[in-house]
Amino acid sequence: MIPCKPITQKLTLLLFSLTVFSGIQTYAQDGQTLFQSKCAACHNVFKDLTGPALGGLETRGPWADRQELYKWVRNPEGYMKADEYTQGLKAKYNSIMTAFPALKDEEIDAIVTYIDTEFKKPKDEGQKTNGETATSSNQNAVIFGVISLILAIIALILMQVNSNLKKMSDDAEGVMRPEPVPFYRNKVYIAMLAIVFFVVGGYYVTKGAIGLQRQTDYQPEQPIYYSHKVHAGINQINCLYCHGNAWESKHAAIPSVNVCMNCHKAINEYTKGPKLYKENGEEVNGTAEIQKLYAYAGFDPKNANAWDPSKAKPIEWVKIHNLPDHVYFNHSQHVRAGKVQCQTCHGEITAMDEVKQFSELSMGWCVNCHRETKVDFNYDGKKGNKFYSIYEKFHNDIKSGKMDSVTVKDIGGLECQKCHY
Amino acid sequence: MSAAADLGYMSQKKYWQSFAEVNDPENFQKKTQDEFREELPFEDVDSKGLLDAKAPRRDFLKYLGFSTAAATLAASCKTPVRKAVPFANKPENIIPGEAKYYATTYVQDGDVIPVLAKVRDGRPIKIEGNDMAAYTHGGTTARAQASVLDLYDTHRNRFPTRKVGDKHEESTYEFLDKTIGEALAGLGGKPVVLLSSTIVSPSTKDIIAKFPNLKHVQYDAVSYSGMLLANEASGFGRKIPSYNFGEAKVIVSLGADFLGTWLNSVENADGYTKGRKINEKNVEMSKHYQFESYLSTTGASADERFTHKPSETSAVALALLAALDGSVTAPAIADAKLKAGITKVAADLKANSVKALVVSGSNDVNVQVLVNAINNAVGAYGSTIDWSRPVNYRQGIDKDMADLVTEMEAGGVGALFIYGANPAYNYHDAPKFIAALAKVKVSVSFNERMDETTELCAYNLPTHHYLESWGDAEPKAGISSFIQPTIYPLFKTRPYQTSLLKWSGNNTDYDTYLKTYWAGILGSEDAYTKALQDGIVETPAAASAVAFNAGAVAGAASATAAKKGGKTEVVLYQKTSIGTGTGATNPWLQELPDPISKATWDNYAMISMAKANELGVKLDMDYEYYPQKPVFEFAVGNDKVELPVLVIPGMNADTVAIAVGYGRGEKLGKTAAGVGQNVYPFSSFNGTTVDYFADITITDKNRKHKIAQTQIHNSYEDRKEVIRETTLATFKKDPNVIPDYRQKLVDDYAKKTSDFHKEATLYPDPATRHNEIKWGMSVDMNACYGCGACIVACNAENNVPVVGKREVLRYHDMHWLRIDRYFVSGENPDDLKGVVFQPMMCQHCDNAPCENVCPVAATNHSTEGINQMAYNRCIGTRYCANNCPFKVRRFNWADYTGADSFANNQDQQLVGKLDDVIFQMNDELTRMVLNPDVTVRSRGVMEKCSFCVQRTQAAKLTAKKENRMLADGDVKTACQQACSAGAIVFGNAHDKESKVSKVREDNKQRSYYVLEQLHVLPNVTYLAKVRNTDEIIEEKGHHGGNEKHDAAVPAAEKKEEAQH
């Protein structure tokens, strides 16, 4: 009971600092979201893509004056007429920026703040990997197995020794006993073995049957070696830039060829990134893979202006995540309404070259998450989803302290017809 | 009636569904308790021992072993590699996985209904009504709902053909354009004729008008030319007016099935309902009288019916006019009941003049002239009949067609283009037409299917399905509805308008022509785009200055007075499902039970009880219980058909009614071929118009034919509290019958707390089991006319399988929503007082009996009040269905959908084969109609109405995405959307402001739950049916009306009586 007080104090302090920082966080978060939804298609903080790298933009051109930046973002074409710097940009990148007339001053500010923070961050951050803890638990299991096996053999030997000693003592005392049965014909042993076999076998059969058609770690070879690590990891392209459908619809959908070509019209070789390897260790030529894309798109990099997107052929990707037909799953429900990160179900996708299935996509896995995940309750005009305002009872319970949060389960997220209809 | 006396009616019952229930109730109850009513294949077990039986124990073990082995094998197989193929070039406004709705128009032979097509990933999968159309208010018909399946019909013509010898060989449009162009040039001045069904498209009419020397003849399978000519004779021009059923206090129909098949039933029902829904604070209803020969869908909803032979229609009209204004001499009418009826109706019409409307379904010019005179006498013109918006639904004139056939016979026609018309099947003298067609040098059909006429034509250039087309329609003057394609044409088809344009020397295709045409009319291309988006453009009605001209009345009166019919007459009618025959190729429509007879997959002769007695058809237990019905030969002159008979109460004693549209050709596919008989030959031409009735002779063929009726498939164990029906007078006198009944239940079962919900159950109070969203439905039985649009909508929305006639015969029909039909009669069942239609679907009971008995909890309750069914959890014990008091659960006895994991599981060697139509529905092409959001169920699982849970889920998600509260009206169930009368209301019952809560609150005196005494607490409420008659229904026994508390336990009833 004694250490109670200091802990509470620490907690209060922690909570306080968290609230303060989270306030700032939300602001920067807005900048990130905006950047990713409006800018990321053409700009990166560090690298030139379709448009110039945005890191340190305030040091260039007229952008030190925020008012000029506002004008430019809302109407690039109009702005350009009287500005030499931007005319130069057009000449360099061969395109004019899309206009965003609807962006507010604060929103542009938020984007600039975000770019600034990103630009000034130490570069190695966020590239840590944590894949080593898993192996150690595996080793433990092997050690335990070996120890149990040794112990079992010792027990068997001791039992044999015991029975031999008993026989010898019986012989010495002159007690007549029947010839002992060898252990492999001993009915007790056989019965015990059968039971163990039945239990263990039954366990594995059941487990195997339940796991039928589950494809965790499924990593098929795709028609084009497409590295999520290069795109989403190193180049930090937002997931929703290519899989924007996940925001709108039940399917996340694989991007169409024209989406790939948005960037790859300009990026026609793979030189700067790390070397790419297939699962079998074979090295992959990134530039050759981009050529494969060009073959599908019908694009000739030497004659880029003659490209006709309508002649493109679709790419037959191998589908990795398969749900049974009797399951209804909606990406937009999870990504947009539920604000679940893609990585929660798809794993550390930014570290995967070729994608493999991370989660087992089983019902137990779904249900566990529904039990724990909290709903975006408590709508107050800024946070929370207004839809949930209808659940008055839960809101009252939260107010009165009966419950601290509402999980998906509480609003019926475990019911059959949430997913099966 | 003597017939009734012979049959010995002893029962006091009022509501019944089958004669057996009336005649032999004890036996009927006993028999309906059998789960399997057909012979089971185990009959040998007793005599020869188990091993020699057809399915002995060893076989069972063999099958068991095989299936285990098969399961192991299937399980050990490699998981298939699935491909995900994205767009090459994604169109900007398409989101894979999200449905889009496009405004378009259902057009079929002049039937025009503005609709929205739901398109999922490029496939239209569902038709919904277009709310923006003021004249339909978003209502649809069964046929409009089913039309999306026609798009994927495997028997559509897939390419242009030309006839070589007896065969139709594939050809190309270039070749045919050239060949036909040359043939047209070589006609030597002989005229070119376009023979079509009614064309409502103004742009097409423009194209036709510009085609040099093209004569256009419109021909309707069931003609309205009597009406058109009569209106011309009465000074209104050759037009049909808009009828305003909503304005009428008294509606008299002389054989017009206006809620089923007459003109636009959606528009009629929409208006009619205005006068039929009851406001409890001011109880009033329109009064609907029906004079007819058989029991029609409309007649079933009438307040009072009077029957007569079809030939007497003119006499009835004449007598009515005479009674109204005395301008003509009344004919002698022998039937006392009919005579009294006419007097009564005339008095009522007089009392409600201006607010009255008389319509007639007759195709006789004289009758229609008399009806016009009656409408003039009651002041209907300008009030309930609107000449400012004449309708274009039917424009065919019978004489034009007869003249054309004569001209063709004489070799006077050079080329005949056929679109939409099918005279080789539905002309009154089809052999004459066929012979005449042979004399036409160039015959071209634009029809979508290889129908009876197209088969005879030299060329077939199939046109698009409407969901693949551009187009327009003008259902009424000043109202234009647009058609836009919702899918790229599936086959090598071409709009017939493009062909007409080409052959008239104009090389623009129809799509461009239409755009230019409408951009010109609407002023700009933007306006045209807007019109396409809305689907409908309405211009203010032009004031009409036409007045009734009585000049033709005297002639009509004298012409009709002379008419005489024979002893027994036949009347031809259309079913709401099949129509004139266009619905015959559609499996959904074939399986839709007829509103009155509840028969599927057949036509038959409906006869009266008196006629049954005369023909020796005994209405005993066997007649009703077994599907075999006696077959008779029906002959009109030399035309004969053999058809089974169905005995229907409330028919005219000497009238036989047979539906048209059946007996189709082999080439139309497995759905249509071999179903029923064609009775169009029974119609005849009287020199001006075609008559759809005739004298008939009947001969017994001493054989039987099975008819798949669904009405007695589900037994309520004689519990009558399922339906509540009363008369307006009774309702006014004692409006609280239903609340009192409920009070009595509370008194009996909830003595302590007076909370029936809480106390009368073992289970926790349902109120504690739900959160703030609780879905509920209300069904107004006063606004249900039995048409079946909701059933087809449900089929489309929920992937409900078609099972075919054989399976319906075995009680395996799968409809999630059925419409129960109850006859209401006095002691004599033929003394039909009315018919009650009750849409019956899963009631989503809060204390659901099905949920408690499921051993695997595959069916359970959600916090939103939905009784959930998890198909993948169901192991098929069928306990739930047995324990359901409403019998709304459906079991997949066979693999109707081809969804099983094992191929070839559809062969049912042991218990009978499945119909071809099931395999047709499983075709890759047909399966494109399936709704991807709803699981396709496999063999061995139970299914039932889900309250369209995919729609409630989608609406909630949309609200979440838009960061807003769920609004009332966000969710409409498929059945609700389809209903043209707004009988079904759905929404959140916990929201006090929602429409469903308001309907329940405002209709406390009529609102009831089915079988309330069982305390299963349904989430569906019904509003009791009220017939507008002065009859006071006598209350037998206790206060709760004449329905017994629990009819199965007479002792309980006596006890209750004592309490009162």
Residue B903 has what pLDDT? 65
Tokens of B533: 């988006």
Q: Which residues of A touch B81 (CB under 8 A)?
A: 220, 318
Q: Which residues of A touch B95 (CB under 8 A)?
A: 245, 248-249
Structural domains of chain B, count:
5
Tokens of B645: 């008979």
Asked, for residue B109, whether it belongs to a domain, the answer is: yes
Tokens of B679: 């009775």
Q: Are residues B742 and B881 in the same domain?
A: yes
Would the CB atoms of B771 and A393 count as touching at under 8 Å? Answer: yes
Would the CB atoms of A386 and B965 count as touching at under 8 Å? Answer: yes
Residue B459 has what pLDDT? 92
Burial of A15-26, coded b for 16+ CB within 10 Å and e otherwise, reads: eeeeeeeeeeee
Would the CB atoms of A412 and B862 count as touching at under 8 Å? Answer: yes
Residue B853 has what pLDDT? 93
Would the CB atoms of B960 and A250 count as touching at under 8 Å? Answer: no
Please tell me if residue B961 touches chain A, with a CB cutoff of 8 Å: yes
Instruction: Write the CATH number for B185.
Output: 3.40.50.740
Q: What interface predicted TM-score (ipTM) does this complex get? A: 0.82
Q: Of the candidates A256, A319, A332, which has its C-beta nearest B89's C-beta?
A: A256
Tokens of B933: 């959001």
Q: Which residues of A touch B950 (CB under 8 A)?
A: 328, 421
Would the CB atoms of B89 and A257 count as touching at under 8 Å? Answer: yes
Rounded to the nearest 5 degrees, what angle is found at the Cα of A237, between the Cα atoms of A231 and A238? 130
Asked, for residue B71, whether it belongs to a domain, the answer is: no
Nearest CA in chain A to B859: A416
Mean pLDDT of B487-499: 92
Nearest CA in chain B to A322: B82
Q: A4-120: which CATH topology?
A: Cytochrome Bc1 Complex; Chain D, domain 2 (1.10.760)
Kindly indicate the confidence band of residue B1039, based on its pLDDT and cuts at 50, 70 and 90. very low
Q: Which residues of A touch B90 (CB under 8 A)?
A: 255-256, 258-259
Nearest CA in chain B to A329: B933
Mean pLDDT of B598-607: 92
Q: Are residues B795 and B909 in the same domain?
A: yes
Q: Where would I find the beta strands (DSSP E) of A200-333?
A: 276-277, 283-284, 317-318
Q: Are residues B1009 and B916 in the same domain?
A: yes
Would the CB atoms of A417 and B862 count as touching at under 8 Å? Answer: yes
Mean pLDDT of A50-63: 81
Q: Are residues B259 and B401 in the same domain?
A: no
To probe the interface with B, which of A299, A375, A416, A418 has the most B CB atoms within 10 Å?
A416
Mean pLDDT of A246-269: 88
Would the CB atoms of A258 and B88 count as touching at under 8 Å? Answer: yes
- Residue B474 in contact with residue B202, Cβ under 8 Å? yes
Burial of A83-122, coded b for 16+ CB within 10 Å and e otherwise, reads: beebeebeeebeeebeebeebeeebbbbbbbbbbebeeee
Residue B837 has what pLDDT? 93
A67, A47, A56: which is closest to A109 by C-alpha? A67
pLDDT in tens, A342-368: 989 998 888 888 898 998 888 889 999
In angstroms, rounded to a whole number, what is the distance separating the alpha carbons of residues B740 and B286? Answer: 27
Residue B908 has what pLDDT? 64
Instruction: Write the CATH number for B983.
Output: 3.30.70.20
Would the CB atoms of A318 and B936 count as touching at under 8 Å? Answer: no
Would the CB atoms of B935 and A326 count as touching at under 8 Å? Answer: yes
Q: Which residues of A touch B858 (CB under 8 A)?
A: 416
Lowest-confidence pick of B245-259, B702-716, B885-899: B702-716
> How confident is the prediction for chain A on average, in pLDDT?
81
Q: Which residues of B touch A251 (CB under 8 A)?
A: 96-97
Give alpha helix (H) positions in B671-814.
Answer: 728-733, 737-749, 756-759, 789-798, 804-809
Would the CB atoms of A421 and B957 count as touching at under 8 Å? Answer: no
Would the CB atoms of B862 and A415 count as touching at under 8 Å? Answer: yes
Give the residue with greater pLDDT, B808 vs B24.
B808
- Residue B648, amino acid: I
Query: Is the predicted pLDDT of residue B1043 greater than 80, yes or no?
Result: no
Mean pLDDT of A295-324: 87
Q: Of the candidates B88, B89, B872, which has its C-beta nearest A326's C-beta?
A: B872
Q: Of the candidates A248, A254, A324, which has its C-beta nearest B95's C-beta?
A: A248
Q: Which residues of B touch A212 (CB under 8 A)?
A: 75
In angstroms, rounded to a whole number, what is the distance separating the alpha carbons of residues A350 and A228? Answer: 6
To probe the interface with B, which of A214, A217, A390 has the most B CB atoms within 10 Å?
A390
Mean pLDDT of B620-628: 79
pLDDT in tens, B309-356: 998 898 899 899 988 888 888 888 888 889 999 999 999 998 988 899
Residue B40 has what pLDDT? 57
Instruction: Write the CATH number for B334.
Output: 3.40.228.10
Pairs of residues, one from chain A and one from chain B, whose beta carbons lie less than 8 Å apart = 146
Identify the three-state secondary structure at position A306.
helix
Tokens of B719: 């519990």
Would the pTM of this model clear 0.80, i.e. be above it? yes
pLDDT in tens, A127-138: 444 444 445 566
Mean pLDDT of B625-644: 90
pLDDT in tens, A177-229: 777 677 778 888 889 899 999 999 999 988 888 877 788 888 888 999 999 98
Please tell me if residue B967 touches chain A, with a CB cutoff of 8 Å: no
The two beta strands, B459-460 and B471-476, are unpaired
> How confident is the prediction for chain B on average, in pLDDT?
86
Q: Are residues B757 and B900 in the same domain?
A: yes
In angstroms, rounded to a whole number, what is the distance separating the alpha carbons of residues A30 and A45? Answer: 16
- Residue B712 in contact with residue B29, Cβ under 8 Å? no
Residue B258 has what pLDDT? 93
Q: Which residues of A touch B860 (CB under 8 A)?
A: 415-416
In angstroms, rounded to a whole number, what is the distance separating the alpha carbons of residues B960 and B962? Answer: 5
Q: How would DSSP label each residue in B806-847?
A: HHHHTT----SSEEEEEEEESSSTTSEEEEEEEEE-----TT
Of B709, B743, B778, the last residue of a domain is B709
Please tell me if residue B79 touches chain A, with a CB cutoff of 8 Å: yes
Query: Is the predicted pLDDT of residue A24 greater than 70, yes or no?
Result: no
In angstroms, rounded to a whole number, what is the distance separating the alpha carbons of residues B285 and B300? Answer: 17
Q: Which residues of A touch B957 (CB under 8 A)?
A: 330, 332-333, 337
Q: Which of the residue ranges A92-96, A232-236, B31-35 has the most confident prediction, judged by mean pLDDT?
A: A232-236
pLDDT in tens, B1000-1029: 999 989 999 998 888 888 999 999 999 998
Would the CB atoms of A336 and B960 count as touching at under 8 Å? Answer: yes
Asked, for residue B648, whether it belongs to a domain, the answer is: yes
Tokens of A292: 């494969």
Q: Are residues B825 and B857 in the same domain?
A: yes
Q: Where would I find the beta strands (DSSP E) of B348-445?
A: 356-360, 385-391, 415-419, 442-445
B691, B835, B643: which is closest to B310 by C-alpha? B691
Proportion of chain B above pLDDT 70, given as a percent: 91
Q: Are residues B487 and B582 in the same domain?
A: no
Please tell me if residue B516 touches chain A, with a CB cutoff of 8 Å: no
Would the CB atoms of B86 and A253 count as touching at under 8 Å? Answer: yes
Q: Are residues B411 and B350 in the same domain?
A: no
Q: Are residues B448 and B382 in the same domain?
A: no
Please tell me if residue B5 touches chain A, with a CB cutoff of 8 Å: no
> How many CB atoms are closer than 10 A to CB B740?
16
Q: Are residues B836 and B975 in the same domain?
A: yes
Of B485, B512, B539, the last residue of a domain is B512
Lowest-confidence pick of A113-117, B386-390, B597-601: A113-117
Please tell me if residue B955 touches chain A, with a CB cutoff of 8 Å: no
Of B477, B512, B547, the last residue of a domain is B512
Instruction: Give the largest CA-CA distance in chain A.
Output: 120
Q: Are residues B667 and B805 in the same domain?
A: no
Mean pLDDT of B906-933: 83
Instruction: Write the CATH number for B609.
Output: 2.40.40.20
Full domain range(s) for residue B1011: 725-1033
Lowest-confidence pick of A7-11, A259-263, B836-840, B964-968: A7-11
Q: Which residues of B touch A406 (CB under 8 A)?
A: none
Residue A72 has what pLDDT? 85
Interface of B with A in 812-871 (CB under 8 A): 858, 860, 862-864, 866, 868-871
Q: Of the candidates A249, A251, A257, which has its C-beta nearest B88's C-beta?
A: A257
Rounded to the nearest 5°, which phi and psi values hold at B903?
A: -70, 160
Sign of CA pseudo-dihedral A328, A329, A332, A337: positive
Q: Are residues B179 and B252 in the same domain?
A: no
